[in-house]
Amino acid sequence: MFTYIMSANPEEKIYAEWDCPQAIAVHCYNKNQDDELSLEVGDMVNVLRKMPDGWFFGQKGNDGTSGWFPSSYVQQILNDHVRANNYRKRLRLIQAASSVSARDGALRSSSTPLMDRLRRMSNPRFLFQTDVTGL
């Protein structure tokens, strides 16, 4: 179901950004180290790595912060429809932020490398589009 990337640790699972599991925080977690991620109940997290000791590395969908957190504080989203809806909401948020920045003159174009990367992460089909005709 998910795209895995090989790791030096055979028990570690690393996911592609565009095809990673998503989880919802069911408990608050206050980080204890700089490389950890604080969670509030209801935070949506893209899980990028899973360690066999029960720690996940993820990125919050609402602000893009990332870090390690205990897996027992989240519940994985298994419904494909919910996952697709979350990606759609994320893309709308990115587009809205781009419009506000452009209106304020801080961003001249909505087609910056960062925006392109965020759009690809939010829309996996974009990765498979090609400009070559006849394929």
Q: Which of 77, 93, 117 is the last residue of a domain?
A: 77
User: Is 133 domain-assigned?
Assistant: no
Residues 86 and 68 in one domain: no
Confidence of residue 127 (pLDDT cuts 50, 70, 90): very low
Q: Tell me the whole-structure pTM to 2 decimals.
A: 0.59
Write the pLDDT tens digit of every residue in 9-39.
777 888 877 778 899 999 999 999 999 999 9
76 Cβ contact partners less than 8 Å away, ≥ 6 residues apart: 21, 22, 23, 47
Residues of the domain holding 25: 4-77
Residues 15 and 68 in one domain: yes
